[in-house]
Amino acid sequence: MEGKPGGRLEQLRRRLGDGARLFAVLRQASARLTVVAALAAVLAGVLNPVFTLTSGALVASVASALEEGVRAPSPRILLLLALAAGVYVLSLVMGPVRESAGDALMRRVDEHLALRVMSSVAQPRGLAHLEDPDVLDRIAQSLGAVTAITPGMAAYYLVQLWAQRLQAVLSAVIVFAFSPWWAVALIAAHAVSYRLRRWHWDQVTNVLHGRTDLLRRSHYLRDLAVDGAAAKETRIFGLEAWLVDRYRVTALDTLEPIWQRRRNGGLISLGATTALLVLEGAVLLAIVRAGLDGRLGIGAVVVYSQAVVAASNLGVFNDAQVYVSEGTAALRVLVGLEREVPTVGANLRGHRPADGLPQESIRFHDVRFHYPGQSGEVLDGLDLEIAAGTSLAIVGENGAGKTSFVKLLARLYDPTAGRITVDGVDLRELDPAQWQRRVAAVFQDYVAYKMSAHDNVALGAVDHLDDRAGVEDAARRAGAAAAIERLDAGWDTPLSRELTGGSDLSGGEWQRLALARALFAIAHGAGVLILDEPTAALDVRGEAAVYDRFLEMTRGVTTIVISHRFSTVRRADRIVVLEHGRIVEDGTHADLVAAGGRYARMYRLQAARFSGGEPVSA
């Protein structure tokens, strides 16, 4: 496609668009730094040709003086010497200025774009885009995780590229003064060389981006080998050498096609470089001959020779071009990410307020659901009504659909068929952010935030971060306060040993802190509580004590409990058994045990563990 006129035109449009986007980002990140960097680049690009002209004039003046037998430097020579020295010193000064401006601009751009990525990914209220491999590939590409080149690096090297290009163009103009034909030949040859090298690099980049998923897998293995959280298992199971070897094999499999392209492109680069060297050598030879023939003076020979060498930047595809090319490509991916993320899995919509809901009930009407890209129904015609202010326990084997039920209830996904209503209002009509603020949840895979103990609780109601009394009360009621108060800095202690002055908690203490976070959310307006295996790290007695207190403290709150422990679920007002995405049993603990169905069989099997191994009777 790239070899066809239409393909080349499309490629040109794309690069012009990339350049426009990069300039827009530079302006948004820091207009002042962009101006400083541009001025520094222009000065750097101009100073080299000026030095070339000045040094040539100086050499010519010195040669002329020597021919005339003048032994003392003339005012002209002194002036040219001073001018050459001034230009040289100024170029030395502008180098660090350009570097500093470029470095500051790089950091501003990367910070600006990181915020854009975060905002783009955080905007949809659901989870579909965060579980979509294509979106995850795009996130990695836009952050520069694939090529290790970020748009900020493109901004940094763009300043250098401006200087190189301006210097090369002005040098070509100087060569044009010697011979228009030689100048045109050099410009054409450099253009062809640049085109070939750029084409080769684009081929490599296309392969690289096409293997983003494989690169992410190899990076996962690398990170797993050095991750402190995984170190316990990797050490116990002796996985260190296996991880290193697996990473090596995966990385090699991923990179081999890229290296093959580079080897093939190396021949192209070698041919282009050889042709350019021959041409440049011919131009230099013509300049030298003109000098020997007396058609050029020694000063002109110096000027034109330096200009031929400096003009070589017209055709070089060096690190600066690579960084600018890859950085702008990452920016292009980000623009696409911002445009496409809201459409993944159908962005959750709704505008009706959710304040105070539910007052009457939450109801699932013939709800069906499957994850994007999958055909099997996780929920298959589920019908269920939950009275507001009551507690409901959901039990079922793994894969029955319990977690998917919770995701739909929290509106992290919308049903693929059927509907969920809250007080008769379709959940799709409610503002998703408002509804999610009405939900407090403690998941089995709760987040252990590497923040202060206070923040770990207060994040349950982020608008009330300064409510220290409320945080401490929620922690006390969840049984987490004692563990926090023993820490050196109390509630201000960072909960990570990776942070200065930090400390860690046991699994059970972390779970109590997660429970406190949910209680804090309820204290500040949440009306639906989801407990998804929230006490798995506690022993049976600890769990029973927590649930006794928790159900009492949350009385009047619509509570959904998911647990494999029947000592927990039996305390709920109502229990349903979920199987293959449908409700197959519904009642109180006593009713279900008496019915002798699935719930009763599961209960007897678990109860047998605490009665000498024999199943207990109903």
Give the three-class secondary structure for 581. coil
Please tell me the predicted confidence (pLDDT) of residue 2.
Answer: 43
How many CB atoms sit inside 10 A of residue 398's CB? 7
How many CB atoms sit inside 10 A of residue 176's CB? 17
Range scoring the smallest mean pLDDT among 2-16, 93-107, 180-194: 2-16
Q: If phi over 0 gives left and psi between -120 and 50 gives alpha, with beta otherwise, what is residue 495?
A: beta
Cα 298 from Cα 304, distance rounded (Å) = 10
Please tell me the predicted confidence (pLDDT) of residue 475.
Answer: 95
pLDDT digits (tens, 9 = 90+) for 286-344: 999 999 988 898 999 999 999 998 888 877 777 787 888 888 888 888 888 888 887 77
Is residue 615 pLDDT above 50, yes or no? no
Please tell me the predicted confidence (pLDDT) of residue 6.
Answer: 47
Is residue 5 pLDDT above 60, yes or no? no
Closest to 123 (Cα-Cα) out of 341, 354, 337? 341
* 352-435+560-618 and 439-526 share one fold: yes
Please tell me the predicted confidence (pLDDT) of residue 415.
Answer: 94
CA distances from 287 to 125, 164, 190, 310 (A): 68, 23, 19, 15
Q: Tell me the average pLDDT across 560-587.
A: 90
Q: Tell me the average pLDDT across 508-535.
A: 89
Assess contact for 117 and 142: CB atoms under 8 A: yes
Is residue 612 pLDDT above 60, yes or no? no
361 band by pLDDT with thresholds 50, 70 and 90:
very high
Q: Tell me the average pLDDT across 191-212.
A: 73
7 band by pLDDT with thresholds 50, 70 and 90:
low
Per DSSP, 293 falls in state T
pLDDT digits (tens, 9 = 90+) for 69-119: 776 778 888 898 899 899 889 888 888 888 888 889 999 999 999 899 998
Higher pLDDT, 593 or 618: 593
CATH number attached to the domain at 439-526: 3.40.50.300
Supply the DSSP string of 360-413, one letter for each residue. SEEEEEEEEE--TT--S-SEEEEEEEEETT-EEEEE--TTSSHHHHHHHHTTSS
Q: Tell me the average pLDDT across 477-497.
A: 93
Cα 232 from Cα 441, distance rounded (Å) = 28
Please tell me the predicted confidence (pLDDT) of residue 618.
Answer: 42
Q: 615: cis peptide before it, omega within 30°?
A: no
Closest to 77 (Cα-Cα) out of 362, 299, 261? 299
CATH number attached to the domain at 352-435+560-618: 3.40.50.300
Q: Find tokens 């987040």 and name the residue.
A: 447
Q: Tell me the average pLDDT across 51-73.
A: 83
Is residue 362 pLDDT above 90, yes or no? yes
Is residue 230 pLDDT above 70, yes or no? yes
Contacts by residues 258-263 (CB-CB < 8 Å, ≥ 24 positions apart): 258/204, 258/207, 258/208, 258/211, 261/200, 261/203, 261/204, 261/207, 262/200, 262/204
Element (H, E) at 165: helix 151-178
The percentage of the chain sitting over the pLDDT mark of 90, rounded to a whole number, equals 36
Range scoring the smallest mean pLDDT among 9-18, 298-307, 346-355: 9-18
Q: Find tokens 């207060």 and name the residue.
A: 458
pTM across the whole model? 0.75
Please tell me the predicted confidence (pLDDT) of residue 547.
Answer: 67
Please tell me the predicted confidence (pLDDT) of residue 253.
Answer: 76
Assess contact for 50 and 118: CB atoms under 8 A: no
The CATH T-level fold of domain 15-343 is ABC transporter transmembrane region fold (1.20.1560)
H-assigned helices in 459-588: 468-478, 481-485, 507-523, 540-553, 566-569
| Contacts (Cβ under 8 Å, ≥6 apart) of 121 | 129, 130, 139, 341
Q: Tell me the average pLDDT across 427-434.
A: 94
User: Domain extents for the chain?
Assistant: 15-343, 352-435+560-618, 439-526
